[in-house]
C-alpha cells in the first residue's frame, strides 16, 4: 500500500509566517489535488514549546541563521515558530485535512530539534510514524510539503533508512533556500540516498 506524508504545511512556514518559505503557499492546491489520489494520508506538525532551543530568542546575542551547539549537536537557530497552540502552528486553512488518518507532532523536546517526521535530530526519540505505517502495511511513501531543504529532506532520508520505497513530489514542496540552490542540493541528496524524484502528474489514481 502507498501513503502520502504531508510535512509541516503550517501557517508559520507560509508567506506572512514567522519562518516563511518563499512561495510555500503554492504547494497547497497541488497537495489538495494529490490527496484525491491517496487512500492513506498522514501529516507531520512542527510543535515546539515556547522556549525551544532552536529559537534564536533563547540564545542571548544570537540571531536566526547562527549555529550553536546544543547537547553536543550543531543547531541552526530559527525565529520563534510553530509554538504549541499558536496560530502559526496550525495547518493552513485551505489545506484539506478531512481524509487524514493521523498527525505526527515533532520538536516537543526543548533540547533537541526534530526535522524528520520519524525521529528527532539526535535519534533519541521516535514519533511512532514508522511503526504506524508498517502496521498498516504501507511499503511506499510519497513525501510532500515544507521545507524541501529541512523537514522534507530529513523525513525522506529516514523513510529510506526505515526501508520504505520513497518518492519526493518536487512540485509539491518548496525550500527555505538560505542559499539559493538549497532546493536543488536537497533533491540531489535525497536522490543519491535512493529516493525517486517525481512530479505530481506522474501519480496515477489508486
For residues 37 and 92, which CB has a smaller minimum distance to ligand VGL in the complex? Answer: 92
- Out of 70, 129, 133, 146, point to the residue binding ligand VGL (CB under 6 A): 146
Binding of residue 151 to ligand VGL (CB under 6 A): yes
Catalytic residue chosen out of the listed positions 25, 80, 149, 151: 151
- 188 among known catalytic residues: no
3-state secondary structure of 182: helix
Strand locations in 58-124, DSSP E? 67-70, 73-76, 100-106
- 106 among known catalytic residues: yes
- Out of 42, 77, 130, 147, point to the residue binding ligand VGL (CB under 6 A): 147
Partner from Zn ion, ligand VGL, none contacting 8, C-beta within 5 to 8 A by type: ligand VGL
Within a 13 Å sphere around the CA of 60, how many CA atoms are in the beta-carbon half?
0
Binding of residue 150 to ligand VGL (CB under 6 A): yes
Among 66-74, 127-135, 144-152, 155-163, the segment contacting ligand VGL (CB under 6 A): 144-152
The 3-state secondary structure of the chain reads: CEEEEEECCEHHHCCCCCCCCCCHHHHHHHHHHHHCCCCCEEEEEECECCCCCCEHHHCCCCCCCCEEEECCEEEECECCCCECCCHHHCECCCCCCCCEEEEEEECCCCCCCCCCCCECCCCCCECCHHHHHHHCCCCEEEEEEECHHHHHHHHHHHHHHCCCEEEEEEEEEECCCCCCCHHHHHHHHHHHCCCEEECHHHCCCC
Q: Which three cell numbers, joined as nine digits, stand for 28?
A: 497547497
- 26 among known catalytic residues: no
Q: How many binding residues for Zn ion (CB under 5 A)?
A: 1
Binding of residue 149 to Zn ion (CB under 5 A): no
> Maximum Cα–Cα distance for the chain, whole Å?
52
Partner from ligand VGL, Zn ion, none contacting 151, C-beta within 5 to 8 A by type: ligand VGL
Site string for Zn ion, 38-67 (x = CB under 5 A): --------x---------------------
Site string for ligand VGL, 52-91 (x = CB under 6 A): --------------------------x-------------
For residues 38 and 47, which CB has a smaller minimum distance to Zn ion in the complex? Answer: 47
Q: Which residues bind ligand VGL (CB under 6 A)?
A: 8, 13, 46, 78, 115, 146-147, 150-151
Q: Which residues bind Zn ion (CB under 5 A)?
A: 46
Amino acid at each position: 500500500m502507498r501513503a502520502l506524508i504531508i510535512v509541516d504545511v503550517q501557517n508559520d512556514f507560509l508567506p506572512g509566517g514567522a519562518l516563511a518559505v518563499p512561495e510555500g503557499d503554492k504547494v497547497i492546491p497541488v497537495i489538495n489535488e494529490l490527496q484525491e489520489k491517496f487512500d492513506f494520508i498522514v501529516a507531520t506538525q512542527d510543535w515546539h514549546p515556547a522556549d525551544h532551543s532552536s529559537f534564536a530568542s533563547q540564545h542571548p546575542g544570537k540571531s536566526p541563521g547562527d549555529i550553536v551547539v546544543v547537547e553536543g549537536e550543531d543547531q541552526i537557530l530559527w525565529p520563534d515558530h510553530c509554538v504549541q497552540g499558536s496560530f502559526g502552528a496550525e495547518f493552513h486553512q485551505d489545506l484539506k485535512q478531512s481524509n487524514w488518518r493521523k498527525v505526527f507532532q515533532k520538536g516537543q523536546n526543548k533540547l533537541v530539534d526534530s526535522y524528520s517526521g520519524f525521529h528527532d535530530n539526535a535519534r533519541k526519540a521516535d514519533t511512532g510514524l514508522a511503526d504506524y505505517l508498517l502496521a498498516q502495511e504501507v511499503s511506499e511513501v510519497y513525501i510532500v510539503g515544507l521545507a524541501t531543504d529541512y523537514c522534507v529532506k530529513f523525513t525522506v532520508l529516514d523513510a529510506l533508512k526505515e526501508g520504505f520505497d520513497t518518492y519526493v513530489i518536487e512540485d509539491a514542496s518548496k525550500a527555505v533556500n538560505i542559499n539559493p540552490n538549497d532546493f536543488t542540493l536537497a533533491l540531489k541528496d535525497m536522490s543519491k540516498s535512493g529516493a525517486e524524484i517525481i512530479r505530481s502528474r506522474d501519480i496515477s489514481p489508486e
